[in-house]
Structure 1
């Protein structure tokens, strides 16, 4: 199986590169120098010219707060270019796999969100990602949209690395405790994408699916586990979102119901505590 991957330096793309070393296929990666998502048509041209069997989009505008002040630019990256890629894939009958987010929901309630629940994003990032989903579906080709949440890894900027950095100079932290979701290791996302890609190349249908770490936890609970596994003595005090304002409003309920992906593809959601263990080991921060 030959895979064309848009993205190279992001968390999921870097994990896809690691997965590619396990003889799971022939991967070609396009970074922003070769495929700048600010320009949809040149990106789509790569799809029209590829000899790949399947296309994975692991590129996106992920700066949630920055999207509030530049939604137009985020829209191009998160909606217009994925739509162009999906149309090019549809023209060649290539499966297109695209990553989306829990931020397409409004974050109300406390029940895990299902794929067919009403969407109502509360910030610019969520609106642009929802528009991307709609563009991919409208293309009419074979596709899989994978909504995920709270992505973490040993690479790039993420909550795990932020907590470790802060613990170098702090012995107490206040962390939001009323936002609840599923921390999702980027490696698990990469593995799920490759497995789903293989199934789709073999004829499996697609659609919209959820994939997030289990069990649900608050940011404060996640921080506590990070410090426990890394052996850092940091006291964590839970605070409400109102005491930690950000430019973009965050959803309180980011729980995702992942039963559909398990039923259709046999892919189970990851245990985030085990994934955290692996990340800390990779960073050399696991408590011995």
Structure 2
């Protein structure tokens, strides 16, 4: 029985994989939180990998506090770069399949067309920089790695934009949401299924892939969809990013082109609104 190690087990994607795992009992699933896969402690991580001895690794763990990363650069790079490098090297040495999760924040936001896997990377914040450095190290240490870039992840688990909007729309009469950052949300359950579809496939084609739900929207439009599906009475206004300054800059356009993953692995990529409905069931 092949053993799948999932890092970041308590995060949104790890939690969604744990929901799907019982349907794939041909695998032995190891869900590792920070204590079982210590991405911030490389010596410990090395010994943990040797002890678990996985056949497949889903590296869902990451430093994802985008604004905090600006003041915690070393920690962000340790988790998003050095730990990834170690995991990729371990996988290369032990013939372990690796799917590593990355982000749309590797881009600077200057594009006006959906970004494919060959698009030029140029991160504009520390988080994006740390994730890009991790991608480069991952492919350098292990050419057989699969990297999936995703964006605007949400789920029923953890903290995310959808949950924040649901809470605010019940608490307030009026809120404002940024309307000049364009992309597409990703329902973590959809991404989790896509990852399983890849390992269930008869082929393994390494490299970078994009995955997010279909649709091209702003955060403001995303909030309006949440309002509509939740039947909230809160007024939702749109504001420019300049009116909502944050420590880390965000790309103004990071819509991902998903044609490669659809063509090679035939994975399902639902429209964002169809997936969003599932949060309200």
Number of the residue aligned with 1:137: 139
CA distance in 2, matches of 1:5, 1:252: 31
Shift of residue 204 of structure 1? 1.7
Per the normalisation by structure 1, the TM-score is 0.93
Number of the residue aligned with 2:9: 8
CA distances 1:227-281 after superposition (whole Å, capped 9, x unpaired): 1001101221111111110000011101000000111111132321111111122
Shift of residue 141 of structure 1? 4.2
Does structure 1 conserve the Cα–Cα contact (< 8 Å) formed by 2:170 and 2:234?
A: no
Residues 189-228 of structure 1 aligned to structure 2 (within 5 Å)? 189-199=191-201, 202-228=202-228
CA distance in 1, matches of 2:185, 2:280: 14
CA distance in 2, matches of 1:224, 1:167: 10
- Following TM superposition, the consecutive aligned residue runs of length 4 or more in structure 1 with deviations greater than 2 angstroms are 23-26, 44-53
- Paired residue total: 279
RMSD of Structure 2 on Structure 1 (CA) = 1.3
1:243 maps onto 2:243 in alignment:
yes
Residues 22-61 of structure 1 aligned to structure 2 (within 5 Å)? 22-23=23-24, 25-61=27-63
Structure 1 window deviating more from structure 2 (75-84 vs 35-44): it is 35-44
Residues 179-190 of structure 1 aligned to structure 2 (within 5 Å)? 179-190=181-192
CA distance in 2, matches of 1:28, 1:148: 23
Stretches of structure 2 that go unaligned for 5 or more consecutive residues are none
Number of the residue aligned with 2:87: 85
1:96 maps onto 2:114 in alignment:
no
CA distance in 2, matches of 1:81, 1:153: 25
Does structure 1 conserve the Cα–Cα contact (< 8 Å) formed by 2:3 and 2:29?
A: yes
CA distances 1:8-62 after superposition (whole Å, capped 9, x unpaired): 1100000010010213532111110122211123223333344432111010001
CA distance in 2, matches of 1:261, 1:73: 31
Stretches of structure 1 that go unaligned for 5 or more consecutive residues are 282-288
Does structure 2 conserve the Cα–Cα contact (< 8 Å) formed by 1:185 and 1:276?
A: yes
Helix, strand or coil for the counterpart of 2:205? Answer: coil
